[in-house]
A and B are shown apart, each in its own frame.
Chain A
Amino acid sequence: MARPASHSSLWQLWHQVFTDLFRWIGVLGRELSSSRGRWVVLALPMLWLVAFFLVPFLLVLKISFASAVSGAQPPYSDMIGTAEDGALTLRFAIAGYQLLLTDSLYVTAYVNSLVFATVSTLGCLVLGYPIAYGIARASPAARAVLLVLVILPFWTSSLLRAYALIGILRTNGLLNQLLMGLGITDAPLVILHTDLAVYIGITYNYLPFMIMPLTANLMRLDFTLLEAAADLGARPLTSFLRITLPLSVPGIVAGSLLVFIPAVGEFVIPDLLGGPDALTIGRAIWTEFFSNRDWPMASAVAIAMLALIVVPMLVFEYVQDKRLEGDRR
């Protein structure tokens, strides 16, 4: 008797579960079709981003104040503990941040990152401006082809493109073969694993980011202004410097930010193309984390990077946006 009874109770349970499930799906459906459904639309992405972006971010902040404990799993100290008399203690270790300011290694990493990002942004601007200008002035059909050609590399793997550059820049690579073949240099130039290679690499990787906003900006430029200037006797260079360039400043700023911000935190390119002394923040965090297993230090470096570079850039962009909006009004 026991067996069928448990069977029937199990069956009842499943029945219950299924009817409940369908009832709840019905409720959910009604909920979704009512105006309250928008809260579901809102809540799903919000919950995901809070759980997997905001909370982790706060965790990094928290762990940056812990101290490293080697051998432990995970390798950092508990900040909230109990003292011997049972009182709750809260330990803040700011050793990581102190080290950040005093150890020349980290200061060098920050300076390097800023220099790499700045020089590469300028490189993108110099290379990208003529392309953007040419695209903006091309016929619609040519413009579409030229734009696709700019965007296509952006879709292909940046890791593989960094790898492709190694083949070009190596001592016995294509560039040196070309230079020596043309008789420009006698001995191969050492480019790979120098700072120059990092500049070339970041410029190469982020060039589409500069060209796209610049093109959008230059396409809105009123080219009759240039014709008027030419009619009035201005030389092309003068009208470029006094009309085109000032009017394209918003595009230049947008493109520069798109290149500069990711370039500061870049890991792959300095690591593959730069020399061992091309220490950047990205590499510093990577080494602290994977080689030294000092998670609090890695977190402190990351927080400092955000506070020193990313946040000021965002504030700058915000102010710029507000100013442009003000101009439009």
Chain B
Amino acid sequence: MNGRKPFVLYTAMAFGYAFLYLPIVAVIAYSFNKSRMVTVWGGFSLKWYGELAGNTQILDAAQRSLLIAALTATLAVCLGTLAGLALARFGRFSGRNLLSLLTSAPLVMPEVMLGLSALLLFVSLEQLVGWPERRGLTTITIAHVTFCICYVTVIVRSRLVQMDHSVEEAAMDLGARPWKVFFVITLPLIAPALLAGWLLAFTLSLDDLVVSSFTSGPGASTLPMVIYSKVKLGVTPEINALATLVILFVAAGVTIAGWMLHRQGKATG
């Protein structure tokens, strides 16, 4: 290897990383800008965070989004784990292809399609059985769980496939019942995958604009919906502050979880 190529490589890498991080760093920097003008630096100030704290519309939406994300992640992890378990451990069974298709199709389905189809289901259900009367938290959560299941399934399934099956078989041979084997052996071993799946489902739900817009009803705007309508009107320092908080919150969560998983991985070898 001669000396020129690493230089070209490092320049290209530096450019790529700068491209990934510069916009985010700029938003964070400008959230502390005193001036209302988004492009002029008017000195350090926390006043946009103060205004954010007084904006009930944003706080309401944030609360709703966090609740939806937590519910979605929990339900998606339960259902996705079952699906992953079936696909990785049950061998060949009738319906395997269908389950495999159903857990991978939403991954490649465009968001607009997921949102539109979920809404049409809720409207048809309302006509047929009178439920859901109002669209909002429940309908958004159901639609989010549906696509989040697939991400959890992928994670859990790949973890189970990598995992040594012999421990489970040994427990089974010693007379443990399948359900006990799952709770005592399989579950602790796939716990990192469950945590990763939960976090991924949580952030996907928290981030989603399109599916929520289709399945939401009046007075049930989620945080991305509020941000979207504000951004459509123009860049505001308040959104800079909000973006900073969301980005730091997610980055901190992912970093802590990653560090915990790393440590656990070291401890268990």
Answer yes or no: do A and B interact: yes
Chain A residues with CB under 8 Å of chain B are 32-35, 37-38, 41-42, 44-46, 48-50, 52-57, 59-60, 63, 74, 127-128, 130-131, 133-134, 148-150, 152-153, 155-161, 163-168, 170, 172-174, 177, 204, 207-208, 226, 230, 236, 261-262, 264-268, 272, 281-282, 285-286, 289-290, 295, 298-299, 302, 305-306, 310, 313-314
Total contacts A-B at CB 8 Å: 241
Looking across the interface, which residue of chain A has its beta carbon closest to that of B152?
Answer: A45
A49 and B103 within 8 A (CB): yes
Looking across the interface, which residue of chain A has its beta carbon closest to that of B86?
Answer: A42
B113 and A60 within 8 A (CB): yes
Looking across the interface, which residue of chain B has its beta carbon closest to that of A230?
Answer: B1
* B46 contacts partner chain A, Cβ-Cβ < 8 Å: no
- Expressed in whole angstroms, the minimum distance between the Cβ of B249 and any Cβ of chain A is 9
A299 and B116 within 8 A (CB): yes
- From the candidates A42, A128, A295, A306, name the one contacting B90 in the complex (CB within 8 A): A42
Q: Which of under 10, 10 to 19, 20 to 34, or 35 or more describes the interface residues of B?
A: 35 or more
Could you say which of A155, A264, A282 has the most chain B C-beta atoms within 10 Å of its C-beta? A155
- From the candidates A35, A164, A174, A302, name the one contacting B112 in the complex (CB within 8 A): A302
B179 and A33 within 8 A (CB): yes
A159 and B227 within 8 A (CB): yes
- Expressed in whole angstroms, the minimum distance between the Cβ of A243 and any Cβ of chain B is 13
With A155-B254, A159-B224, A286-B210 given, name 13 new contacts (CB 8 A).
Answer: A38-B178, A42-B95, A49-B149, A55-B121, A163-B27, A170-B39, A174-B22, A174-B39, A265-B111, A265-B112, A265-B113, A268-B209, A289-B116
Chain B residues with CB under 8 Å of chain A are 1-2, 4-5, 9-10, 12-13, 15-17, 19-24, 26-27, 30, 38-39, 79-80, 82-83, 85-86, 90, 93, 95, 98-99, 102-103, 105-106, 108-113, 116-118, 120-121, 123-124, 127, 142-143, 145-146, 149, 153, 177-180, 199-200, 203, 206-207, 209-210, 213-214, 224, 227-228, 231-232, 235, 239-240, 243, 246-247, 250-251, 254-255, 258
Q: Known A173-B39, A236-B2; judge A310-B108 contact (CB<8 A).
A: yes
B99 and A42 within 8 A (CB): yes
Could you say which of B26, B120, B240 has the most chain A C-beta atoms within 10 Å of its C-beta? B120
A149 and B116 within 8 A (CB): no
A265 and B121 within 8 A (CB): no
How far does the alpha carbon of A290 sit from the alpha carbon of B116 in the complex, in Å?
11
B82 and A155 within 8 A (CB): no
- Expressed in whole angstroms, the minimum distance between the Cβ of A319 and any Cβ of chain B is 15
A53 and B102 within 8 A (CB): yes
- From the candidates A37, A156, A230, name the one contacting B251 in the complex (CB within 8 A): A156
Q: Known A41-B85, A168-B22; judge A59-B124 contact (CB<8 A).
A: yes
